[in-house]
Structures are given as structure tokens and as C-alpha cells.
Chains A and B, each alone.
Chain A
Amino acid sequence: MTPVATPLFFYMLSGIAILGGLLVITRRNAVHSALALIVTLLAVAGLYLMLYAPFVAGVQIIVYAGGIMVLFLFVIMLVNLERTVKQRQFNRIWPVGLVASCALLALFLSVYEKGKSLFEGRPVPTLTEASNTQQVGVLLYGNAGQIGPYTFAFEIASLLLLVAILGAVIMAKKRI
């Protein structure tokens, strides 16, 4: 399927994403930040769809916007909110951090400006949308009895999640 009005959607989604990111780091109330982060995550999921990655977009919505952000909202409601809203929100050396971050952005943009010719006028290979999930599954799990290139990494990732669950429970428990 040929995409329609790609530049319009790209600029709209990236504008929403960057606006949401700005709100995340400026809001006083942490719940507002979390909601702005959800908006950013959904906009980035739209960008994934434009990049022919429907499976990653689905994972983004289900795991990030559905799982991780609910965890964040629970923790925001567990820790004290009223007192932190009245306090100073930025630390004392915030101008230093701002200048360093702007220098980082300038570095990124200058590198991209230098390497611009690598991206212009190259033919864009087509990725199939319909079998995207199947192909990702073949890379992760393997195909027809053979293990895929990422099967071992996949198992390690499951072990990492197990350790993270145990660590979170032990940390948050009152008496071990």
C-alpha cells in the first residue's frame, strides 16, 4: 500500500512527540508529566507505523503506554505528591545542564549536517507490512527447527526480566 500525505503525518506526529517531551520535563505535577509522556509514546508509535514497523508500534503501545506508564502512575500515587509540588522543581545547577544539553544537540545536528549526503537520493528498500510480525518472530525464535540469530539474546532477556521482577519485589518489600 502506498502511503498518503507522508510529510504531513510525519511533521504532525513528530511535533506532538517533541511537544509531549517538553511537557514531560517542565510540568510541576508528576501525573501531568506521566500523561504527557503517554502522548509522546503514542506519537512515536505512529512514527513506527510510518516506518513500516507495525509490530514495534504495537509493542510500544501495549508494553510502554499500557504497562510501564501504569507502573509509573502507581508509584507517583504511592509517594507523597502535595509536598513535592510546592518545592523547587529544578536543581541549582540547571543552567549548566541546559547549556551542556544544547551543546549535545548542536553536536548531533552538525554530525547530521556533515553526513547529509549519505541519506539523500538513496533508494528506499521496501519492507513488507503484512508479514512483519512473522519476520520478527523468525528472527527471534528461529524457523523450521533452526534457532534464529536472536534466540539466545531472547532467552537472556527473559532472565533479565525475571531478575528485575525479583529485584523490584525485594526493594519494595518492608521486611526481607
Chain B
Amino acid sequence: MLDITTLHYLVVAAALFVLGVIGVLTRRNVVIVLMSIELILNAVNLNLVAFSRMWGNLHGQVFSIFIVVDAAAEAAVGLGILIAFFRNKETINVDEIDLLKW
């Protein structure tokens, strides 16, 4: 069978990235939009780890850990904003989130 090269991993990561972008651009539910952002970050992580394997050093893996930290921070703040918004407007649709203050 064919060898699995870095390019194979890059194609998988591109597919995951595009799935995340489709989710961000088309869904109305904010929770699912945030989950699509997690998909995008995972695709980036997969790229970093694949290149880390290709070059034979661990810098890519360390960067992917930093991206996991960012994802955790982003999810915490995003979900906090979502709860505050839901308490005031009783909806979680992206279309209706168009005010900073009401």
C-alpha cells in the first residue's frame, strides 16, 4: 500500500478546517458555531503536529499545546458571553445577536 506522507495529514486537516468554516458561516445556533471553531483549531493542531513529525523536532507539538490553551480560554469566555446573552434576550441565534448593549 501507499506510504502515508505529511501531505495526507494536511488534506485531512484541510477537510476538518473547511467543515468548521462551513459550520461558522451557515449555522444559527451559537453553541454549534463555537463547536465549529473548535473544529478549526483542531485542524490547525493536526497541521502543526504533522509538520513537527516531518521536521523531526518538537516545536510544533509545543505550539499545538499552546493552541489547546487558547481554545480553552476562548471556549470559557465565549460560553460566558453566551450565558449572559441568553439571560437577557432568551435566544441563542446568531442572527439576533446584533447589540452590544440594550
> Which A residues fall within an 8 A CB radius of B?
6-8, 10, 14, 17-18, 21-22, 24-25, 27, 30, 33-34, 37, 40-41, 44, 47-48, 50-53, 55-56, 59-60, 63-64, 67-68, 71-72, 75-76, 78-80, 84, 87-91, 94, 96-98, 100-102, 104-105, 108-109, 112, 116, 119-120, 122, 124-127, 132, 135-136, 139-140, 149-150, 153, 157, 160-161, 163-165, 167-172, 174
Contact = CB atoms under 8 A, between A and B. Distances in A.
Interface in B50-66: 50, 52-56, 58-59, 61-62, 64-66
B31 A63 contact: no
**Interface SS, A side:** helix
Contacts of B53: 51-53, 124-125, 127
Q: Name the interface size band of chain B.
A: 35 or more
A125 B1 CA distance: 21
B84 to A, nearest CB: 5
Nearest to A74: B79
30 contacts: A7-B1, A7-B4, A14-B8, A17-B12, A17-B16, A21-B20, A21-B39, A24-B32, A25-B27, A37-B35, A51-B9, A51-B50, A60-B68, A67-B72, A71-B76, A72-B31, A76-B31, A80-B92, A84-B29, A84-B92, A88-B28, A90-B26, A101-B25, A104-B21, A108-B14, A125-B54, A125-B56, A160-B69, A163-B73, A170-B80
